[in-house]
């Protein structure tokens, strides 16, 4: 089975640290990951620079990413204005966050559930207006789907309801996001099943997982068992959420690729080449912690780095 790894470090990773990575270093990072076989990279987000100065060069990164053959350039957009800027820049995949925890939504986007659903409908209408062959893929990320550091437990019925409303508003699919690291394998299996039953298998193919409590890869396995085929990850485990106190980084791309390829899944990624990309990030952000067991331990003898 082929699994798509969506690298989110240039967006989710960099927005969570104070320092700003130089544009040329970001380009080198994106180019090196694409050369290693990564087929989708979330290069940034179209939010005001006054809010996240780390993302001020996203339009330039979209333009750069579009010069790389075979790379899907993804971005996060908070609203219709952000989506307009993303499409004008040439982004091929848009993701808008819809926090299942309404308190988190008000902190993150300053919008209620109803207001975000209205924005989703407007963005979907704009995306649909493009010619079929040029239409960007529009996804809604259901943030805090497994729990919230502000509200605590998030009812599964609310996750299912918002997934249905997002699809009804025109999104192509939803992604379940463990923004705060509250997920466990049983919860992942249960929630993926429930959401798929409500909106269809083809409307939920991806998970965005964090490793806050060490369950990131275990949760990946639970998702794979339920037919998930796209997984977000961040090089070196960079990333978190400014509005989720205590939330640590995403699952480590290198460890995820190692586990999948060791199990016989196809990723198309050269793991040895991928691990060398860490030097670009560490050189540009000296002293910034990078995580990952595989880069520290190295590959086992006779390990087949590139899945056939």
The model's confidence at residue 308, banded by pLDDT at 50, 70 and 90, is very low
Mean pLDDT within 171-179: 96
Mean pLDDT within 35-63: 96
What's the pLDDT at 302? Answer: 86
Mean pLDDT within 40-63: 96
The model's confidence at residue 297, banded by pLDDT at 50, 70 and 90, is very high
The H or E element spanning position 295 is helix 293-297
Share of the chain above pLDDT 90, in %: 82
What's the pLDDT at 106? Answer: 84
What's the pLDDT at 180? Answer: 86
Share of the chain above pLDDT 70, in %: 96
Check residue 44 and report its DSSP letter: E
Task: Give me the catalytic one of 3, 241, 269, 285.
Answer: 241
Statement: residue 259 has pLDDT above 70? yes
Mean pLDDT within 140-146: 96
Dihedral, CA of residue 301, residue 6, residue 175 and residue 48, to nearest 10 = 140
Look up tokens 């975000």; give the residue: 116
Q: What is the pLDDT of residues 182-192, one digit of tens each?
A: 999 999 999 99
What's the pLDDT at 305? Answer: 64
Whole-number mean pLDDT of the chain? 93
Q: Which residues contact 87 (CB under 8 A, 6 or more apart)?
A: 94, 126, 127, 130, 136
All structural domains of the chain: 4-297 (3.20.20.70)
Q: Is 138 in contact with 123 (CB distance < 8 Å)?
A: yes
Q: What is the pLDDT of residues 98-125, one digit of tens each?
A: 999 988 888 877 889 999 999 999 999 9
- Using only C-alpha atoms, the chain has a radius of gyration, in whole angstroms, of 18
Q: Which residues pair with 190 in a beta bridge?
A: none
Statement: residue 242 has pLDDT above 70? no
Statement: residue 243 has pLDDT above 70? no
Mean pLDDT within 252-280: 97
Active site residue 175: no
Dihedral, CA of residue 15, residue 93, residue 43 and residue 144, to nearest 10 = 20
The model's confidence at residue 8, banded by pLDDT at 50, 70 and 90, is very high
Statement: residue 47 has pLDDT above 60? yes
Question: Does 211 or 110 have the greater pLDDT score?
Answer: 211
Statement: residue 241 has pLDDT above 70? no
The model's confidence at residue 248, banded by pLDDT at 50, 70 and 90, is low
Mean pLDDT within 33-57: 96
Statement: residue 88 has pLDDT above 90? yes
pTM of the model: 0.95
Q: Is 277 in contact with 290 (CB distance < 8 Å)?
A: no
What's the pLDDT at 285? Answer: 95
Statement: residue 60 has pLDDT above 60? yes
Statement: residue 245 has pLDDT above 50? yes
- Whole-number Å distance between alpha carbons of 249 and 145: 16
């Amino acid at each position: 089975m082929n699994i798509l790894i969506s690298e989110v470090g240039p967006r989710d990773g960099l927005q969570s640290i104070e320092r700003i990575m130089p544009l040329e270093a970001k380009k080198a990072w994106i180019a090196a990951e694409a050369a290693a076989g990564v087929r989708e990279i979330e290069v940034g987000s179209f939010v005001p620079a006054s809010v996240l100065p780390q993302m001020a060069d996203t339009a330039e990164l979209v333009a750069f990413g579009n010069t790389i053959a075979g790379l899907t350039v993804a971005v996060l957009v908070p609203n219709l204005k952000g989506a307009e800027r993303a499409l004008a820049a040439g982004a091929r995949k848009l993701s808008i966050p819809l926090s299942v925890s309404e308190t988190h939504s008000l902190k993150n986007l300053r919008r209620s559930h109803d207001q975000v659903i209205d924005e989703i409908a407007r963005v979907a209408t704009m995306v649909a207006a493009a010619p079929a062959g040029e239409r960007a893929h529009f996804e809604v990320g259901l943030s805090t789907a497994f729990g919230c550091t502000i509200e605590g437990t998030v009812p599964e019925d609310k996750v299912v309801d918002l997934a249905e409303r997002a699809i009804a508003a025109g999104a192509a699919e939803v992604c379940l996001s463990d923004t705060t690291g509250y997920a466990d394998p049983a919860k992942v299996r249960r929630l993926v099943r429930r959401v798929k039953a409500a909106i269809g298998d083809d409307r939920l193919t991806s998970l965005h997982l964090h490793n806050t409590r060490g369950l990131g890869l275990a949760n990946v396995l639970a998702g794979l068992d339920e037919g998930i085929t796209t997984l977000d990850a961040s090089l070196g485990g960079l990333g978190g959420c400014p509005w989720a106190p205590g939330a640590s980084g995403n699952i480590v791309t290198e460890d995820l690729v190692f586990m999948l390829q060791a199990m016989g899944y196809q990723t198309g990624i050269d793991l040895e080449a991928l691990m060398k990309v860490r030097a670009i990030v560490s050189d540009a952000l000296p002293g910034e912690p990078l995580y990952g067991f595989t880069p520290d331990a190295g590959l086992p003898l006779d390990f087949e780095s590139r899945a056939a």
